[in-house]
Structure formats: structure tokens, C-alpha cells
Amino acid sequence: MTRALFLVDVQNDFTEHGALAVTGGDAVARRISEFLSAHADEYELVVASRDWHDGDNDNGGHFSDSPDFIDTWPVHCVGGTFGAEYDEGFDTSRVTDHLKKGQGKPAYSLFEGVGDDGRTANDLLDAHGIRDIDIAGLATDYCVRASALDALAAGRRVRVLTDLVAGVHPESSERALAEIVRAGAELVESDT
């Protein structure tokens, strides 16, 4: 079985003390590291994304001084700053591919990211002939949701590791998980 693990935006600005702190973000970073130390060998690819916004513009209206936390957000994940770095609780030593997204525009999905070599997630999956993807990270209702829906739309089989995600809002996170399931994904605990 060839399977990929996608780890979405486990970055300082999305964990507990960040600009756009997600409750439970620190614990997700730590649990993902534990999961990787036990299970990284089971994945052909471990792909991590980072939101990587410009610091000199509003990134296509993504940043706002009066954010609604739905479509507009406080300044976060400016490329090259601490907030855009991976959370220190996230051990990235088993990550095989790093993608950056959101330069000058909103980009919720990991599928919008590119590596330094210009390859996208779909390029990587196709190069390795991978159809099965497990997804974890932040935030359930935004970047995890968008990444899962894009993976399904690209014909992949998707499982969301429900104990390795955390969301911005509880209600929209519940709705996002239900939507992902309706679109064809499976929800599983990481120890199953």
C-alpha cells in the first residue's frame, strides 16, 4: 500500500500563541510529532504545507485590520517571520516535501502550494502513483477542509485523522467534517 500523509499549516501563527491562534493547536503539533515517530515509515510521502503570505500587501484582501475570521484575517504567516515557521512542537525530520502557499493571495488548500522545485502536491502524488492520502493539521474548518475537498476532487481517497486536527470555530469545524464526509472522505482516529 502506498499512502501519503499531508500535514497542513502546523505553524506558529496557528498554534496557541500565534496571530491566529487555534485552540488545541499546540496539542495537535505535539500529537502529530508522536504520530510521525511511530508511523512515518508507513507513508511513501510526508508532505507539509505552510501558509506563506507577503508582508507588504493584504494578500488579495486576506488580511484586514477588522477581520471577520471567516473571509478576512489578522496579519498572519508572513513568509520569513517566526509566525510562518513550523511550530516548535512539530518535529519535521520525517517530512519528505515542503510546500508554500498564499504568496500575495488567499490559499487555503495544500494543493495550491508549491515546493522550492516548483512541484505541487498533485505532481508529487502522480510521480509516486499515490491515490491514498491521510490528512492532519490546522485548521479543520479552513485549510484542512480545503485540502481534503481538493484531494477528493482530484480523485484521491482521503482519510482525515480526527485527533490530529483542530479548528478555528467549533461549529464550522463540525460542519467542515460533515461536508468532507459527504464528499467521500473517511474520518478515522490516528491509532486505528
Cell triple for residue 191? 491509532
Catalytic, 143? Answer yes
Pick out residues in 141-160 that bind ligand VGL (CB under 6 A): 142-143
Q: Is 138 in the site for ligand VGL (CB under 6 A)?
A: yes
Pick 103 or 129: Cβ nearer ligand VGL: 103
> For the CA atoms of the chain, what is the radius of gyration?
15
Q: Is 95 in the site for ligand VGL (CB under 6 A)?
A: no
Cα-Cα-Cα-Cα dihedral of 160, 166, 169, 172, to 10°?
0
Pick 112 or 134: Cβ nearer ligand VGL: 112
- For the residues of 64-126, what is the DSSP string, one character each? -SS--SSS-B-S--BTTSGGGSBPTTS-GGG--EEEEE-TTS---SGGG-B-TTS--HHHHHH
Binding mask 37-66 for ligand VGL (x = CB under 6 A): --------------x---------------
Q: Is 14 in the site for ligand VGL (CB under 6 A)?
A: yes
Single residue of 6, 35, 43, 73 touching ligand VGL by CB under 6 A: 73
Give the nearest distance from C-beta 1 to ligand VGL in angstroms: 28
Q: Is 139 in the site for ligand VGL (CB under 6 A)?
A: yes
Sheet architecture: strand order including 45-51: 97-101, 45-51, 3-8, 132-138, 157-166, 186-188
Q: Classify residue 77 as exposed, middle or buried by CB count within 10 Å of its CB (0-12, 13-18, 19+).
A: buried
Quick count: other Cβ atoms within 10 Å of Cβ 16?
A: 15
Give the nearest distance from C-beta 2 to ligand VGL in angstroms: 27
Catalytic, 100? Answer no
- Of 101, 134, 141, 150, the active-site residue reads 101
Catalytic residues: 9, 101, 143
Contact residues for ligand VGL, defined by CB under 6 A? 9, 14, 20, 51, 73, 108, 138-139, 142-143
